[in-house]
Chain A
Amino acid sequence: MAGSFFHFLLLTLYKNRFFHATTLLMAAVLIFLLASGLFVVGSLQKQTFLNLAQQPEFVVRKLRGGRPVATDEQLLYALQEIRGVTAVRGRVHGRYDDPVFEDTGFELVGIDIFEPSLTRTLRKLTAREFEKLSPDQMLVSPAVKELLRQNYYESEYLFHRYEGGTMRMEIAGVIDRDYALQANDVMLLPMEKAREVLGLPYGTFTDIALEVPNELELDTIKQTILSRYANVEVIDKRKMAARYQTMYDMKSGVFLSLFTVVLLGFVLILYFKYSHVLSSAKREIGILRSLGWSINDLLRLKGFETLCVGSVAFMGGFIAAFIYVYGADAPLLGRIFLGYGELPVDYDFKPFFDPGLFAQLYLLFIIPFSAAVIVPVWRLCIIGAKEAMK
């Protein structure tokens, strides 16, 4: 059986090669678009949550007149005393606008170069081996590095201090591209230097990060802080997670429009296939019926045909999307999802492959794809061979 059946299958595939090539190409393009979208979103989601996992549970800021102001060390020590809080960290960060670069600001982050864990942190942050930061050195994101280089700041950069005068910093290294997703415009410099540029008095912080390992204590600790201190703001990581969730959600606007386009295209292919069978394949089916092919025989032939074409299209589109997103870091499409910030986000998509999703997608694709052939074939079978051959 196998020999002549597959011989005939190849023949009919070859006979209709232009039709099959057209549907294959169209389907592959749609699968490519959809899979690229899924890869980009999935990869971003994964990365975002990995980053988020390293964030502190709470960030506390002092307010004055409803606006955040510098937070002093006393609050830091007081918060440390709250039961369930295992670590507190004063952070110094903020926006710095350089008049030289119109429309472009930098996110300054102060790092405590005397902290023992810093070397480890730096190792994680930087692409290059990096031992120690000296007080007049800083690290920048790749995008910042590129922007500075274009403006002839090859190895050092001149800050305007808050109190007046300038401050020279050596560009000692570039942070890893993975961290650039949330910190694309970042400059890391020693905490004291960051204070000088941002205008924070000695010993004060932008905010205080709290670590609370026990999830069950989160709400009580938040309540304790809010009731004990007037005019403080507690930023909850859980809220941030929810925000990121909607940002890279599969139901987000960008993804939804992509999905709509793909769906419309798919319906078009289905219609194309359906009408092709009813017109061009009609005679062929009638003849085969007259030669004693049962409905089952015909459904098997046509089913194999569409399964071959559909599977090749699916695999082709999927593999192309994999290479496009993870090999080439999704030019154009990645841009749409990452958004157009002030600085281009140079992001390295990490492979994200979910076999369950793959299987689901394959079924969602191949079932209607095959049905668009099987249904008209079946219809032609039951109208009778004489009618079909006309």
Chain B
Amino acid sequence: MIRVENLSKYYGQGRERKTVLQAIGLHIAQGECVVLKGVSGSGKSTLLSLMAGLEKPSEGAVYIAGEPISKLPDLHQSKQRNRHIGFIFQAYNLFEDMSVYENLLAPLIPRKLPVKEVDRAVSKALEAANIAHKKHTVVRNLSGGEKQRCAIARALVNDPEVILCDEPTANLDKDNAALFTRQLQQLKGAGKTLLIATHDPLFETLSFVDRVVTIEQGRI
């Protein structure tokens, strides 16, 4: 489902050049749940954003569902990202002054669906993320855990095969973290391909995690 080939990322030029990822190769099968483990600064977030095409690799390529997402022209790449990838950011990256419903609307707009289907997709994602009761609450007024559930709902609204999570438990208390792992298990049950970047040891103990990949100074 996800294939990373010889992926490198540098920042800066010449003497200033800083290597963040070095010749990464990784294969994640459909329905697999992989934990990407590493200390802060090891390059986890960078790898995830390369996978989602949020920045361009310096070398190598990322394939999502067989498509070389890192090499596609914008229109095609955006479509690919929109349909196949749900991204749960560490900082959530929600529109704070919009309601939960309106936040979920955003990923659906490029699909140009009829209103009925939009509403159905939103309801389904809200149910799945357990946040339906806050549908019309403005995000700013949500608690940390609720914000994350909103972020999950938004990642699910287009029913993507791949879910990428960046430090999902970093901002959560113990109860909410436990709740999150249960939600992950449900997603796994639903056949999603999951990649979780984290330094939280919690994930190593989970039964449904298929594999733990360790990243260290940009190498796997």
**Is B93 touching A292 in the complex (CB atoms < 8 A)?**
no
Per the bound structure, the CA–CA distance linking A6 and B118 in Å amounts to 13
A387 to B83, CA, bound (A): 22
Interface pairs A-B: 9 shortest CB-CB: A292-B82, A1-B112, A294-B78, A385-B54, A3-B115, A291-B107, A386-B54, A292-B81, A384-B55
- The verdict on A284 contacting B95 (CB below 8 Å), with A7-B105, A8-B102, A291-B154 known, is yes
Asked if A293 and B110 sit within 8 Å, CB to CB, the answer is: yes
Query: Which bucket holds chain A's interface residue count?
Result: 20 to 34
* Chain B residues, Cβ within 8 Å of A286: 93
**A292 and B55 in contact, given A8-B109, A287-B93, A389-B93 (Cβ under 8 angstroms):** no
B110 to A4, Cβ gap below 8 A?
no
**Are B74 and A292 within 8 A (Cβ)?**
no
Bound Cα distance from A384 to B81, whole angstroms: 13
- Interface size classification for chain B: 35 or more
Whether A4 lies near B118 (C-beta < 8 A) is yes
Assuming A384-B56, A389-B93, is B105 touching A4 (CB within 8 A)?
Answer: yes
Interface string of B116-160 (1 = CB under 8 A from A): 001000000000000000000000000000000000001000100
Say how far A345's CB is from chain B's closest CB, in angstroms. Answer: 54
Q: How many A-B residue pairs have CB under 8 A?
A: 89
Task: Please give, as numbers and ranges, the residues of chain B lying within 8 Å of A7 by CB-CB distance.
Answer: 102, 105
The answer to whether B113 and A4 have CB atoms under 8 Å apart is yes
Residues 287-305 of A at the B interface (beta carbon under 8 Å): 287-297
Write out the residue numbers on chain B whose beta carbons fall within 8 Å of the beta carbon of A386.
Answer: 49, 54-55
- Report the minimum CB–CB distance from A244 to chain B (whole Å): 57
- Does the CB pair B110–A11 fall under 8 Å? no
B102/A292 in contact, CB under 8 A: no
Chain A minimum-CB-distance residue to B116: A3
With known contacts A8-B106, A288-B106, A291-B106, A15–B98 Cβ distance under 8 A = yes
Check: B203 CB closer than 8 A to any chain A CB. Answer: no
B-side interface residues toward A, CB under 8 Å?
Answer: 49, 52, 54-56, 74-75, 78-83, 85, 87, 89, 93-95, 97-98, 102, 105-110, 112-115, 118, 154, 158
Chain B residues within an 8 Å CB radius of A295: 74-75, 78
> Which chain B positions have C-beta within 8 A of A283?
93
Cross-interface CB contact of B109 among A15, A290, A293, A385, cutoff 8 Å: A293
In the complex, chain A residues 273-319 whose Cβ is within 8 Å of any chain B Cβ: 283-284, 286-297
What chain B residues lie within 8 Å of A284 (beta carbons)?
Answer: 95
Chain B hits for A4, CB < 8 A: 105, 108-109, 113, 115, 118
**A1-B112, A8-B102 given as contacts; is B118 within 8 A of A289 (CB)?**
no
Cα distance A224–B104 when bound, in Å? 88
Which residue of chain A has its CB nearest to the CB of B108?
A: A4
Please, which residues of chain B bring their CB within 8 A of the CB of A288?
Answer: 106
Would you call A5 an interface residue if the criterion is a C-beta within 8 Å of the partner chain's C-beta atoms?
A: yes
Q: Is A289 a contact partner of B54 (Cβ separation < 8 A)? A: yes
Chain A residues in 8 Å Cβ range of B114: 1, 3
19 pairs from A and B in contact (CB 8 Å cutoff): A1-B112, A1-B113, A8-B102, A15-B95, A287-B93, A287-B95, A287-B106, A289-B54, A289-B78, A290-B87, A291-B81, A291-B106, A291-B107, A291-B154, A292-B82, A295-B75, A295-B78, A386-B49, A386-B55
CB distance from B174 to the nearest CB of A (A): 28
Known contacts being A1-B112, A292-B78, A389-B93, is A11 close to B56, with CB within 8 Å? no
Contact check, A291 vs B54: say whether CB atoms are below 8 A apart.
no
